[in-house]
Structure 1
């Protein structure tokens, strides 16, 4: 994918969301939608055009699993970026990839490359 992936980013902490958006862009992809709560994320999950969703597990005290379920119903790939472990997720979502915060650029690149082998972009030096 010469133009990179379209990414839907769900994170309630504004600074972390901005940092992750910057990393996504540095890897050659672009953020097409952002949300910081389950209500907005649910709307974007069903209507936005994206290749990959990156979801925080806990959004202001509300778990993101309803959003993950909507994304899964659309057949879109997603991963979790969280300080929590998979034990907080419903069992059907525990098999999804999880990046542990704090997230490093190389970890994000490795995860995206494993999910989209043809989208590889180089990390700027």
Structure 2
């Protein structure tokens, strides 16, 4: 019996953080899409692929990733918002999203994604 490999899109503008997240996801058996460092890159990837879940940095080099979160919500794709601002900084309409406070433990991310993908 083969396990289902879950595709996770990583939207993160800090290269080092993106690499650490990608390594943690690969080690946990996920397939990684991206990473996308800008809203434009993320939206373009979402036009071509349908991930099972998304790790979404809220602030991409000073640009808000709210358009990406809006698209994910509209398509019913589960996502985790990674932010240093906490739940109070979530964009309108996304207050119920899972929040991962930066800096975070990769194990915590894997656990959260496991719950999202099982839902």
Q: TM-score, normalised by structure 1?
A: 0.85
Q: How many residue pairs align between the two structures?
A: 118
User: For structure 1, which runs of at least 5 residues remain unmatched after alignment?
Assistant: 119-125
Pairs within 5 Å for 1:4-83: 4-83=5-84
Which contiguous aligned blocks of 4+ residues in structure 1 show a shift greater than 6 angstroms?
A: none
Post-superposition CA distance 1:9-52 (Å, at most 9, x none): 10000000000000111111110232101111122223223111
Measured in 1, the distance between the counterparts of 2:52 and 2:92 equals: 24
CA–CA distance in structure 1, aligned partners of residues 50 and 94 of structure 2: 22
1:111 and 1:15 map into 2 onto residues whose CA distance is: 21
1:4 CA displacement: 2.4
Structure 2, unaligned stretches of length 5 or more?
A: none
